[in-house]
Chain A
Amino acid sequence: MQYQEVHIFKLGENAWSLQWQSSPSRELLQFLLAVKENLQKEFDAEIIHTYTEILLKRVRGAFLSDAVLEVRFREIIKSTTPLSDQKANIHRIPVCYESSFGEDLESYLKAISLTLGQLIELHTKPLYTVYFMGFLPGFPYLDGLDERLYIERKSVPSQRVKKGSVAIGGKQTGIYPQDSPGGWYTIGHSPITLFDVSKQQPSPCVAGDYIRFYAIDATEHTLLKEQNEIECVFPITEVYGG
């Protein structure tokens, strides 16, 4: 079985970290999600995951010793098979790739020597996997950026990246659900909402979902933005595969 080699680490008094050495991949993600599901059945704890790690925090009601807990974690990991990956939601996110909407667009294109057309093609082509959420409420960490779009993070971060900004930094691309400081290049803007605390499900995305960007022009952007101001517009969601 794959992914049996795991480093188990007690973090402070009440949390446990399970770490894998493997590279992040959709396959590893499906395995982590399955491990999380199995852990959740047995432990009263809050369990989150990132690229190659699972964290159990506030592990409660465990009258078990640390050693027994560790043995149990290993048993659960050993008996886990990855979730089947046949169906997943795709969230389609409209992006206006124009310099009035992406303040770093010009400098970004210059730095990576691509035309706007090439950038749009390379950025809208992949199906990005939502790996997990972190950094800001509803901020999705995405996997799948074309390596021709990689760029070092900006040496001086922007103090205010606007809500809805679509940006690239390092090997990652993402979309800011709220205003925030940030060190990535802003290449465009999406007029839709990615996080709304008043909704039953504040974020439309869950780990394992896909995101696909599509290009819109300024007129369409204005229209969607006005609509979004009246009532929050989440991305259009379709089911992929199955």
Chain B
Amino acid sequence: MEDSICILRTGFYTSIQDEGRFGYAHLGIPESGAMDKKAMQLANRLVNNSLDATVLEYTLVGPSIQFHCERHFVITGGTTVARLGSKIIKNNVIYRARAGDVLEINKITEGCRGYIAIAGGLQLPDVLESKSMYIPITDIATVEKEMHISIGISTYGTLKGARLKIENKSQITSYIQENTLNVYRGPEYELLDIEFRNYIATSSFTVSNLWNRMAVQLKETITHSIPSITTGPVIPGTIQLTPSGRMMILMKDCQTTGGYPRILQLSENAISILAQKKQDDNISFLLSGPYRSVFHDGVTE
């Protein structure tokens, strides 16, 4: 029988993700891909997969999976209560499962998204060059009960010294506790008045009940009179200001274009930090200096 795992219980929102789907934005197709890229890459590195190998991403409550093969695996991201049979499983530690073993992942106690990387990676057919789940590109958005997923050939332990030694684990995973997001100016930042800019720079904000793979909306509202823009391109990490005065931070499943002013842009690292935030968590912004054009605006000679 083919090496595989079986989903016994799906968890709250568990999907299959790789780095994402690139080269199709011109068709209006979102990037998708792991929300917390740092945790996903760490997981793959620990089991000697390529950094973009396909993993399971779970949210708040993890899945229960049965191994139908012997494999090394690791869980990373939000701190998770988990067991392999009767053994307690810790984050960022490599374990070996035997055929028949059940990995039972329960609540995430810190952060909100976790990753399971299995040596060899999850093997599924690509849809438009990616395995990341997104409807209607893939038929389903999350894994289903009793679904079997093939596992590739493990290269764990094949090379001496290939195992990553984590000297200081807390250093690698400390971003999960951070709540300051590094941001850059967005194309419409200039439309904000001084008061608004100060407010953004000095306030603490709260994640609202709208937080998913498409966007994280903040609770606070600011009245403003900034008009909508002609529909322009957006990418994960773009912060839009809605007409009702809410900041909407676009995440990995976001649309490719949007009509709300794009006031800020998160750094790559900040996207990983925000991917670990859930409703009522607090965040604040640290604005980096703008790239200064070597030209005066609009003058080319």
Contacts and interface: CB of A to CB of B under 8 A. Distances in A.
Contacts of B28: 133-139
Given A11-B238, A11-B265, 10 more contacts: A9-B187, A11-B262, A12-B267, A15-B235, A51-B232, A74-B295, A136-B255, A137-B27, A195-B136, A207-B26
B136 A178 contact: yes
A55 interface: yes
A132 B136 contact: no
A48 B26 contact: yes
Nearest to B137: A197
Given A7-B297, A46-B23, A132-B257, A66 B267 contact: no
Pairs of residues from A and B, 7 with the lowest C-beta to C-beta distance, nearest first: A134-B257, A55-B233, A10-B291, A12-B265, A133-B28, A5-B298, A67-B294
Given A12-B265, A48-B233, A137-B136, A7 B26 contact: no
A225 interface: no
A50 B267 contact: no
Nearest to B23: A46
Contact of A133 (B26, B232, B293): B26
Interface string A1-30: 000111111111111010101001000000
Interface size class of A (residues with CB under 8 A): 35 or more
B230 A52 contact: yes
A138 B22 CA distance: 15
A239 interface: no
A11 B187 contact: yes
A12 B230 contact: no
Nearest to B297: A7
A12 B237 contact: yes
Contacts, number: 118
A5 B230 contact: no
Interface in A161-208: 178, 195, 197, 202-203, 207
A87 interface: no
Contacts of A195: 27, 136
A48 B184 contact: no
Contacts of B127: 197
B300 A12 contact: no
Interface of B: 22-23, 25-29, 127-128, 136-137, 184, 186-187, 230-233, 235, 237-238, 255-258, 262, 265-268, 290-291, 293-295, 297-300
A28 B287 CA distance: 34
Contacts of A52: 230, 232
Given A4-B300, A17-B187, A46-B23, A53 B237 contact: no
A43 to B, nearest CB: 14
Nearest to A24: B230
A51 B259 CA distance: 11
Contacts of B235: 11-12, 15, 55, 57
Interface of A: 4-15, 17, 19, 21, 24, 46, 48-53, 55, 57-58, 66-67, 70-71, 74, 78, 132-139, 141, 178, 195, 197, 202-203, 207
Contacts of B290: 10
Contact of B27 (A51, A70, A133, A178): A133
Contacts of A71: 294
B266 to A, nearest CB: 7
B39 to A, nearest CB: 19
Contacts of A21: 298
Contacts of A24: 230
A67 B84 CA distance: 53
A7 B237 CA distance: 21
B137 A137 contact: yes
A66 B27 contact: no
A11 B232 CA distance: 13
B230 A51 contact: yes
Given A51-B230, A53-B233, A134 B300 contact: no
Contacts of A203: 27
A66 B137 contact: no
A24 B25 CA distance: 20
Contacts of B23: 46
Nearest to A206: B26
Contact of A197 (B136, B237, B238, B257): B136
Contacts of A8: 293, 295
Nearest to A14: B268
B294 A70 contact: yes
Contacts of A10: 184, 290-291
A75 to B, nearest CB: 9
A132 B29 contact: no
B129 to A, nearest CB: 12
